Structure 1
Amino acid sequence: MTTGPRFTASRSSQGFLAAPLCSLLKDGNIDELYRFHIWLPGGQRGNLDFAVHSHQAYAQSWILAGLGNDYRYTFEPVTSLADATHAMYGLSWADGKNTSAVYKTHQTSSTVVNTGKLGRTTCTAGPTVHTRDMSYYIPSAAFHSTEVAPDILHATLFVFDSHRGFTEDAPVLGPKDTESSTQLRDPAGVTPAALANMVETMRSWEIFKEQGQQYSQRAHWQSALEAFNEALDLCESAPDFPNADRCKQPILAQLEIVFRNLRREDVQLQS
């Protein structure tokens, strides 16, 4: 078991904030790792040049809130620079003490270095849409990328399990003519507790919104009104609600439909 801060956040090169919840390492490699991933609204996303990557260990993701798109890829080695779309990059981590390819739970930065291995990348699947309470897996060494719109929150519980698959070599794909790139892990003061509160608030908002839509489909307008009002109240009263203005718009539109139908019912009752 690793030592140090129990819960700390860091910014991934893929653009999300990550908080390791449980980390078991064996011989410098991930044995099991439970990690909280959250993409915040505001446009801060990863470097798209290095979006396609792989993992040493088999990974499974459970969606906690929001919407993300997953893509899968193949990488066919080539010898000509002209034929290549990408190069393979080796990954190392720094924790303030040293930098190496040995995985570190609490990181200060990560660096990818061009290995000179060229190849042609082809997208073979996607976008596959993932929303709350869905789950998907990524085999070890499989190339994939995750795309999240810049104005929404998306959160997952990501679990790495080497017992279900592990490979020593899990490269990142990047530009064929770049030497290296470093990602600082500084979370800019955001804490795991604040992230968890935002995700819980967003989950509640999504549930109230879906309940309101279901009631509306059955013409249960009073129940729909109550559910949509709960969703609207979260947007207006929850501290640090992620992109409240964006989330209020569909709720207000739904409430307009509900009010129109409630007025129609009142007219019918009075006639």
Structure 2
Amino acid sequence: MTIIQATQQNPANASLPHDQAEKDNFSYFHKETGIDHDGNIYPEAIRHVLLGFYTVAAEEMSTSKQKDEELEAPTPSVKSIVDNIRAWLAPQAEPLSLKDWINKIYNQFHGEATEDKENVAKVAVCAAFLRGKSRLAASTDAKSLSRSAVTEFEMDFIYGVIKAALTSKKTKYYTWGVKRSSQGFVFVSLYTMIDHALPHTPIMEMFRLHVWLPDGHRGNSLLKVHSHTAHGTSWILTGEGTNQLWEVTPTTNSGPNVYALYIPKWHLTVKATTPTTDAAPIEKPDDTDADTGYKHPSVQKSSSLVKTDQLVEIKPTSTHIHNRNESYAIRAGDYHSSEVAGNHVHSTLFFFDAFPSCVDPAPIVGPTDGNIDTVAKREADGITVQDLFGNVNRWRELNEEYDAETKGYKNRKGAREVFPGC
């Protein structure tokens, strides 16, 4: 499989609908990271990230069926919320630290009738910061790599900001929904950029919260080895997870280690919205049939897998166990699997980014006979963001402790009342 370097297609600029001067300014600083050498975040980077909020929120609003009569005033459009934040950021010039941006946003928007703008802006700042750190880590430049680390304080701070924003009872119009992944975990899309005009993978950037709950829901073990269309970076918020890398080699042989490659198809329920201009998002034609192209999770009713004729041999290469405040990266096209105990809680922030690399398609490894259920529903069985953070918080409090010797968090051993059998 050929890895297509995203810089050849220049998707980072292709998805920026600013005027040319703003594009040039954004492209100039620090190899598209959006942060300076001290980790301060440029306002242009936050404005850029906010474009990915149109798609997520517009589709969540279309499926929430919230009634206007239940509100004190007509529901303002999601576009208006995001536009107002971006307009406020436009005259800002200097980069600020993560904490200073959060304070500045609080001073600007706190006290309004709802907390929509405040919370959206805060999540965007956190996303812009981690986006920049991810791109530094993907660089081959030694100085960039040295500045890519995210401290424990920064991760705990980001977790607190995102938790407060997503669970706020004063956010009335902008909502984040919970979906189920075919790999078993549930997730919340925080922002997404998709460019259907590109000849290859349309995923530009995607920032999500991933949570494995102690509910026994895990991915089908026969389909656990998979790849991603875009480079991915994961920051662990809580719990322990194992990332297993695999070597996947085409073969014409048969045997116990021989599998087939599968290609995902997506089944849609509503229109997909893609932010391509400052004026407004555009709507793609409604498509209720299967489509091999990626669609934003909020418009996916389900996904299925189509078996190809390509046979492969697989073997594990390296295994890494990750805990709270650690991170790891997966290159586009690399095969891996994630393992989390069925009665444990594990949560991460995950950033997909086509800028370092992207591939098309991103296959999944499965059995050669095709005798397997390959349909995965997106419904999360009524799970809310409050449910997610309730589980994550309890796990952080009851099952993790700070180790003074290693100056890091580790999982406590033994049973807990809230999570029996852990």
Range class of TM-score, shorter chain:
0.7 to 0.9
Residue of structure 2 in register with 1:102 after alignment: 293
Q: Which amino acid aligns with 2:363?
A: P
Residue of structure 2 in register with 1:196 after alignment: 389
Q: Which amino acid aligns with 1:35?
A: R
Residue of structure 2 in register with 1:140 after alignment: 332
Residue of structure 2 in register with 1:52 after alignment: 225
Residue of structure 1 in register with 2:378 after alignment: 185
What is the CA distance between 1:118 and its match in structure 2?
0.2
- The structure-2 alpha-carbon separation of the partners of 1:118 and 1:84, relative to structure 1 and needing over 3 Å to count, comes to farther
Q: What are the equivalent positions in structure 2 for 1:84-233 lying under 5 Å apart?
A: 85-96=258-269, 97-105=288-296, 106=298, 107-126=300-319, 128-178=320-370, 181-206=374-399, 209-211=400-402, 214=404
Q: What are the superposed Cα offsets for residues 155-181 of structure 1, whole Å, 9 maximum, x if unpaired? A: 111110111111112100000110661
What is the CA distance between 1:116 and its match in structure 2?
1.2
Maintained 8 Å contact 1:62/1:136? yes
What is the CA distance between 1:84 and its match in structure 2?
5.5
Q: Which amino acid aligns with 1:196?
A: F
CA distance in 1: counterparts of 2:306 and 2:371, whole angstroms: 6
- What residue ranges of structure 2 are gaps of 5+ in the alignment? 1-53, 61-174, 270-287, 406-411
What is the CA distance between 1:9 and its match in structure 2?
1.3
Residue of structure 2 in register with 1:77 after alignment: 250
Maintained 8 Å contact 1:113/1:179? no
Q: What are the superposed Cα offsets for residues 62-101 of structure 1, whole Å, 9 maximum, x if unpaired? A: 0011100010011111113347621100111122234212
Residue of structure 1 in register with 2:209 after alignment: 36
Q: What are the superposed Cα offsets for residues 84-136 of structure 1, whole Å, 9 maximum, x if unpaired? A: 6211001111222342122222122111111110010011111x100001000
What is the CA distance between 1:201 and its match in structure 2?
3.1
Q: Which amino acid aligns with 2:178?
A: A
Larger proportion of helix: 2
- The structure-2 alpha-carbon separation of the partners of 1:26 and 1:131, relative to structure 1 and needing over 3 Å to count, comes to same
- The structure-2 alpha-carbon separation of the partners of 1:196 and 1:118, relative to structure 1 and needing over 3 Å to count, comes to same
Q: Which amino acid aligns with 2:230?
A: A
CA distance in 2: counterparts of 1:199 and 1:179, whole angstroms: 36
CA distance in 1: counterparts of 2:395 and 2:375, whole angstroms: 32
- The structure-2 alpha-carbon separation of the partners of 1:84 and 1:201, relative to structure 1 and needing over 3 Å to count, comes to closer
Q: Secondary structure at the match of 2:59?
A: coil
CA distance in 2: counterparts of 1:72 and 1:34, whole angstroms: 22
Q: Which amino acid aligns with 2:235?
A: W
Structure label with greater radius of gyration: 1
Q: What are the superposed Cα offsets for residues 187-216 of structure 1, whole Å, 9 maximum, x if unpaired? A: 11101232123213322334xx524x659x
CA distance in 2: counterparts of 1:85 and 1:24, whole angstroms: 36
- The structure-2 alpha-carbon separation of the partners of 1:98 and 1:191, relative to structure 1 and needing over 3 Å to count, comes to farther
Q: What are the equivalent positions in structure 2 for 1:250-261 lying under 5 Å apart?
A: none
Larger proportion of strand: 1
Q: Secondary structure at the match of 2:401?
A: helix
CA distance in 2: counterparts of 1:50 and 1:205, whole angstroms: 32
TM-score, normalized by length of structure 2? 0.49
TM-score, normalized by length of structure 1? 0.75
Q: Which amino acid aligns with 1:99?
A: A
Residue of structure 1 in register with 2:59 after alignment: 4
Q: Secondary structure at the match of 2:361?
A: coil
Higher relative contact order at CA 8 Å, sep ≥6: structure 1 or structure 2? 1
CA distance in 2: counterparts of 1:67 and 1:83, whole angstroms: 30
Q: Secondary structure at the match of 1:4?
A: helix
Maintained 8 Å contact 1:21/1:36? yes
Maintained 8 Å contact 2:214/2:342? yes
Maintained 8 Å contact 1:78/1:84? no
- What residue ranges of structure 1 are gaps of 5+ in the alignment? 216-230, 248-271
CA distance in 1: counterparts of 2:207 and 2:361, whole angstroms: 21
Between Structure 1 and Structure 2, how many residues are aligned?
A: 220
Aligned CA-pair RMSD:
2.3
